[in-house]
Amino acid sequence: MRIRIEGRELPAQRAGARADALRLANVHVGVQRQREAVDLVPAWALAAAWQFEITSREVDELLDVGGPWVHGRPGARFLYLTWGNVVGDEFQMFRRAKLLFGDVPTATLRGAHEGGLLTAELALTDAGGDPISARVRPPAVVWSLR
């Protein structure tokens, strides 16, 4: 199954002290693969996008997903967007956002299983101007099939 995450409104795009602090701290966001954040994008970028493949299979007439990008137990699977400071070659994680497969409409998830592209679109800044974190639920994330 192919997945694409499209992020907009990154937190250091805005003007002000908070955005400046994110730039100075060299904050980046990436998608988490196993225990590592990969494909890092700076918090001041205009947009962020990640595309990758996961496995999907039928289990007792239910669709289950897996692979190194997927976290959680069956029935509660999710993807992580991971925020951290880049210091030299080291990524120091300080916050994560969860995108739950349980929030994807069933028909949309099935369409992706059958060969479509599952897309998540979301703003990467919370209401306070910080990097988005915790569980990101619709309507803050829009899942679609392309």
Question: By C-alpha distance, which of 20, 40, 139, 112 is closest to 81?
Answer: 40
Q: Give start and end residues of each alpha helix (H) in 4-103.
A: 17-24
Q: Which residue has the tokens 């899942």?
A: 143
pLDDT tens by residue, 117-129: 999 999 999 998 9
pLDDT tens by residue, 4-25: 999 999 999 988 899 999 999 9
pLDDT at 14: 83
Task: Report whether 93 contacts 55 (CB < 8 A).
Answer: no
Task: Report whether 37 contacts 31 (CB < 8 A).
Answer: yes
Domain boundaries, the chain: 2-145
Length of the chain, please? 146
**Dihedral (CA of 15, 20, 21, 25) sign:** positive
pLDDT tens by residue, 94-122: 999 999 999 999 999 999 999 999 999 99
pTM of the predicted model, to two decimals?
0.95
Cα(65)–Cα(106) distance, integer angstroms: 13
